[in-house]
Amino acid sequence: MTSRSLAAVLASAAVFVALPGFVACASAHPAPRAAAAPAPDELGEGIELYQQGKFAEAEGLLRRASGPEASAYLAGSLAKQRKYAEAEAPAKAALEANGTHEIAVAALGASLVGQGKFDEAVNRLSAAVAARADLAYAYYWRAQAFQQQKKADRMVSDYETFLKLAPKAPEAATIQQFLSTLQ
């Protein structure tokens, strides 16, 4: 990367990032998977509400549910509401049970980047992709952390990997447009 394009990356970060460490996008978490039949329990109903984008309602149900799956979706719901500090503990709890849980990884990435814990975000997300290389949002959030650390080459690489893994993600068009300005 030339020094001019590196300067462009860092200069454009102020426009590209809506909040510290965040791309101005709607999602920044894995796309909801199609639910089977709605479960008649708090966990199932909470997951269904999460998938419908009703994060505050999902949070209420998921706080009463237990287990790693409930923790993962609770963390995701909290992160979607930008309650980053609250999202960290349940994301970490879910990842203790399943270190590559897609929703928990994305929620932890959002949580750590949202709190400005960029080094920890890079470390934890690097461990997640080392264990499972297809975690698109691990690359997305790690790219966000690299952007804040002004590590342009690593940011670009992670955004490119994100786009390969999730070309139809809500953030994809914004990321593609951003990357095209760097060339």
Give the per-residue pLDDT at 40.
Answer: 55
Amino acid identity, position 32:
P
Please give, one letter per residue, the 3-state secondary structure of 39-63: CCCHHHHHHHHHHCCCHHHHHHHHH
Mean pLDDT value of segment 141-146 = 98
Is the pLDDT reported for residue 63 higher than 90? yes
Band of residue 65 on the pLDDT scale cut at 50, 70, 90? very high
Is the pLDDT reported for residue 22 higher than 80? no
Give the per-residue pLDDT at 176.
Answer: 96
Euclidean distance between CA atoms 170 and 183, whole angstroms: 22
Question: Which tens digit of pLDDT belongs to each residue from 73-102?
Answer: 999 999 999 999 999 999 999 999 999 999
Give me Rg for the CA atoms of the chain: 16
Residue 86 C-alpha from the chain's centroid: 15
Please indicate whether residue 83 or residue 9 has the higher confidence score (pLDDT): 83
User: What's the DSSP call for residue 101?
Assistant: -
Give the per-residue pLDDT at 114.
Answer: 97
Mean pLDDT value of segment 117-123 = 98
Is the pLDDT reported for residue 170 higher than 90? yes
Give the pTM.
0.80
Euclidean distance between CA atoms 133 and 149, whole angstroms: 22
C-beta of residue 139 within 8 angstroms of C-beta of residue 165: yes
Q: What residue ranges define each of the domains in the chain, with the CATH number in brackets?
A: 3-180 (1.25.40.10)
Please indicate whether residue 6 or residue 63 has the higher confidence score (pLDDT): 63
The strand pair at 17-19 and 22-23 is best described as antiparallel
Euclidean distance between CA atoms 99 and 155, whole angstroms: 23
Please indicate whether residue 102 or residue 25 has the higher confidence score (pLDDT): 102
Euclidean distance between CA atoms 125 and 163, whole angstroms: 17
Is the pLDDT reported for residue 167 higher than 60? yes
C-beta of residue 104 within 8 angstroms of C-beta of residue 76: yes
> For 6-15, 29-38, 97-106, 146-155, which range has the lowest pLDDT when averaged over its residues?
6-15
Cα–Cα distances (Å) from 160 to 119, 164, 170, in that order, read 21, 6, 15
